[in-house]
Structures are given as structure tokens and as C-alpha cells.
Amino acid sequence: MEPAPPADERILRAALQRFAVDGLSAPLRAVAQDAGVSAGLIIHHFGSREQLLTACDRRALAITRETKAEVMTGGAGVMLARLADVDRQAPVVGYVLRRLQAGGPMATQLIDGFVADATVYFAEGEEAGMLTPSRDPEARARVLTEMALGALLLQLPAQRDPLDLDDLPAWLRSHYESLMLPMLELFTRPLLADSSLLDAYLAADPNSTSPPMTQGNAS
């Protein structure tokens, strides 16, 4: 039988789930009750609500980094396996959506963290032969990250409404399934038939020093 995780880990898992369900203003006593500890023990381990939220941010980034890096280096089989594992991801996804919904500097920092991580695992995807290089890797990572998060955020219940984590996995599957075909088509069969618009933009941009890439090397 696997030993029970230490108190700080139980608190962190409970916080991710409780904040996902009720929002970032959920009472710490509810987190403590979920974790089977006293509210004072939360303060002992994390110091304050904001520091607990920061720990939740770090955990969300770590899990996302691990998942995306595996997909970028492991190919289609890993991608499909991860899509089938959305039940485990539900509290983290729910927490991230609540953090974005709340807005403010902490949400901005979380997005910046996702972008920084995406830049790294996109580079790993390039090395693995799954992705083509970009003229501006960080800008590409930011656009794709914000598109993905924005698509999820548009579907989220109002900020004060509870989020049902039991229903979230089924909703995530439906959301991913509705996006998968058009997104993969867009990424593998470019929307524009040729590069004339890109070439014209680069020619008119005085800050651009990159020559147009051909279909043969990268886009």
C-alpha cells in the first residue's frame, strides 16, 4: 500500500482542486478540511494564501511542462494517451482557468511562465523533427499559448459560479475533440496557399532581417 503523501503535498493537491471548484477566494478552512489538516498547518507550510496560490502556480506549470514536453518528443502516440488522461488533469486545468479568470499580475506571471516553457518544449519539438523552426520562437509560443488558454477561458462558467470537476473531464474531451481536427489541419496544411503575404510583410518590415523561408526547410 502506497504511503500517504506528506501534509504539504496533501494541502497543495486539495488547494488546486478547491480553488478550481470555488475560485481563488475559496476559504482556506475548506482547503484544510479537504486535505485533512488544520487551517493553521496551511499557514505553517505555505505562510499565506498568496504563497499557497504561488505554489499552485508552480505545480500547474510543472505538470503542463511535463505533459507538453512528452508530446513534443514522443509523437502522436503520447499525444493520444495524454488526451485520454484528462481526468488526472482536471484539477490543474480548472485551477489555471480560475487563475486566468481572476486576472491581475499573478495571472500575467502564470501566462509568462507557460510561454517560457512552451518556447523550450517547442525547441525540443524542433530537435525531434516534429516542428519547423520559427523566425521568432518566443512570439510563436506566446501566440499559441494565448490562443489555447483563450479558447478554454471563453467556455468557463462565470467567475462566481462553481466549476464541477466531475463534469470537467468530459467537457475537456469534448472541447479537445472539437478543436483537434481543425487545429491539426491548420498546423499541418497551412491556411494560406502560399507565402506571398508573409513575404510582403517581411519585405515591408524594417526590423526584419530574416529571409523568407521556403516550404522545403521551414515556415
Kindly report whether the global pTM for this prediction surpasses the value 0.95: no
Q: Which candidate, 196, 101, 172, 21, places its Cα nearest to that of 33?
A: 21
**Does the pLDDT of residue 47 top 90, yes or no?**
yes
Band of pLDDT at residue 133, cut at 50, 70 and 90: very high
What is the distance between the alpha carbons of residues 30 and 38, in angstroms, rounded to a whole number? 10
* pLDDT value of residue 53: 94
Domain residue spans in the chain? 54-190
Mean pLDDT of 140-156: 83
Contact residues for 117 (Cβ-Cβ < 8 A; gap 6+)? 61, 64, 65, 68
Percent of the chain with pLDDT over 70: 80
Contact between 99 and 57 under an 8 Å Cβ cutoff? The reply is yes
Q: Which residue has the higher pLDDT, 149 or 53?
A: 53
* pLDDT value of residue 167: 79
Q: Which candidate, 59, 143, 49, 128, places its Cα nearest to that of 96?
A: 59
**Does the pLDDT of residue 74 top 60, yes or no?**
no
pLDDT digits (tens, 9 = 90+) for 180-216: 888 889 888 888 999 899 889 888 886 765 544 444 4
Concatenated DSSP letters for 72-131?
HHH-HHHHHHHHTTHHHHHHHHHHHHHHHHH-SHHHHHHHHHHHHHHHHHHHHHHHTTSS
In the block, residue with C-alpha cell 459560479: 161
* pLDDT value of residue 219: 39
Percent of the chain with pLDDT over 90: 30
Highest mean pLDDT among 77-81, 126-130, 154-158: 126-130
* pLDDT value of residue 80: 41
Mean pLDDT of 81-91: 61
* pLDDT value of residue 91: 84
Superfamily of domain 54-190, CATH level 4: Tetracycline Repressor, domain 2 (1.10.357.10)
Band of pLDDT at residue 73, cut at 50, 70 and 90: low
Residue 135 in 3-state DSSP?
A: coil
Q: Grid coordinates standing for 94?
A: 480548472
Residue 16 burial (CB count, 10 A): 26
